[in-house]
Amino acid sequence: MASLSRLKAVILVGGPGTRLQPLTNYMPKSMVPVLNKPFMEYTIAYLKQFGVEDMILALNYLPDVIQNSFGDGSRFGVRLTCCVENSPLGTAGAVKNTATYLSSTFIVLNGDVFTDLDIADMVAFHRNKGARATISLHRVEDLSAFGAVETDSDQRVKRFIEKPRHGEATTNWINAGTYILEPEVLEHVPANSHYMFEEGLFPRLLELGEPVYGYPYSGYWLDVGNPEKYLSLNCDLLLSKTSSPLIRDSNGDRIYYDKDVTIHPSARIAAPAVIGSKCRISQGVHIKGPVVIGPDCHLKEGVSIENSVLWSDVYIGANAKLKQCIIGSNVSIEPNSQIDNRVVTPLQTTPLFP
């Protein structure tokens, strides 16, 4: 694998994500726990595996949450620089806000997308084409929530169609949110203004005749922007449908225990599962993976949990049954409850699949 040690990466941390609320009322989307680690940690590990160790975080929503958790990045073997926006600047505007740190080819990632894209190969493609901007492309069947990207036979971008109606687009390739850019393209982004890549900079570059290319790939790609996809990512990692440098020796048939876990001998746990630190699992509990249980959770007698994610400090009353659920931190579930297809937080309960 080619090393990208000389390249910098800008990570668009973004806001709470309306579709993930109320889970993200107190944290950016990139901080939601995935297998009990902040999603941002997976993004950092992903870049680091390619040799990228100099990362700039574009922050606007609850920046202190990120800064307090990750600091200067030394704990993770990388260098982190935080650029905080006074008000949301949009995707391109956020990168423009980091321009003082960018003097050569750089990478941009959306901080709420999980992918196994070979970014070293994408950089090589970008350089081989002499591109000013290269956009990662992923194929989807339903274009209604995405922007289609049409390219010619040489993969040069011809046009963008934002959320096309049925029959309007001639392609199913979408903008997948990873970019390789040359610093001069930021000259076309107005300073201190809300400006987007999708509707602003990229179409403008086409108007100017600048070489913009699409890099198609067919690997794993998931935007964790709603509860359904968030649950899917946790399950896919546990089932080894995708992988991360943070997870070693995963084969879809493992139970991972953190420290100081107490489990009654009569409890049954079917892999795959992650059990967080200081969890207490009582008599007769049945856990059928894929399941993630966060730290400091207490499962009382006879509890049954299947295909679910529990955050930290969750109390599940005796004989409660949970299936296909996301349970936020500091939630207490009443004894004998039966909860199916739900997102539960201290504030409200909503359907997981509306």
Reported as a single tens digit per residue, the pLDDT across 197-209 is 999 999 999 999 9
Report percent pLDDT > 70 for the chain.
96
Reported as a single tens digit per residue, the pLDDT across 300-338 is 999 999 999 999 999 999 999 999 999 999 999 999 999
Confidence of residue 10 (pLDDT cuts 50, 70, 90): very high
* Total domains in the fold of the chain: 2
The residue-averaged pLDDT of 172-178 equals 92
Mean pLDDT for the chain overall: 92
70 lies in some domain: yes
Which residue from 270, 319, 274 is spatially nearest to 297, judged by alpha carbons?
A: 274
* Cβ neighbour number for residue 183 with a 10 Å cutoff: 16
The residue-averaged pLDDT of 235-264 equals 90
Which residue from 101, 131, 106 is spatially nearest to 119, judged by alpha carbons?
A: 106
Which residue from 30, 20, 19, 90 is spatially nearest to 55, judged by alpha carbons?
A: 30
Which member of 8, 96, 163, 278 is catalytic? 163
The residue-averaged pLDDT of 16-31 equals 78
Answer yes or no: is pLDDT of 20 > 90: no
141 lies in some domain: yes
234 lies in some domain: no
Cis peptide bond prior to 272, omega within 30° of 0 = yes
- Is residue 210 domain-shared with residue 167, that is, in the same domain? yes
Confidence of residue 161 (pLDDT cuts 50, 70, 90): confident
Kindly report the length of the chain: 354
Confidence of residue 354 (pLDDT cuts 50, 70, 90): low
89 lies in some domain: yes
Look-up: residue for tokens 């350089």? 127
CATH code where residue 36 lies: 3.90.550.10
| 37 flagged as catalytic | no
**Residue 259 CB burial class (10 angstroms; 0-12, 13-18, ≥19):** exposed
DSSP string, 104-144: S-EEEEETTEEE---HHHHHHHHHHHT-SEEEEEEE-S--T
Residue-level pLDDT at 171: 87
DSSP designation for 243: -
105 lies in some domain: yes
DSSP string, 78-95: SEEEEEE-SS--HHHHHH
- Is residue 257 domain-shared with residue 218, that is, in the same domain? no
Range of the domain at 280: 253-351
Reported as a single tens digit per residue, the pLDDT across 24-57 is 887 888 899 999 999 999 999 999 999 999 999 9
Which residue from 286, 137, 279, 132 is spatially nearest to 209, judged by alpha carbons?
A: 132
- Is residue 49 domain-shared with residue 152, that is, in the same domain? yes
Answer yes or no: is pLDDT of 236 > 90: yes
- Is residue 192 domain-shared with residue 279, that is, in the same domain? no
- Is residue 113 domain-shared with residue 205, that is, in the same domain? yes
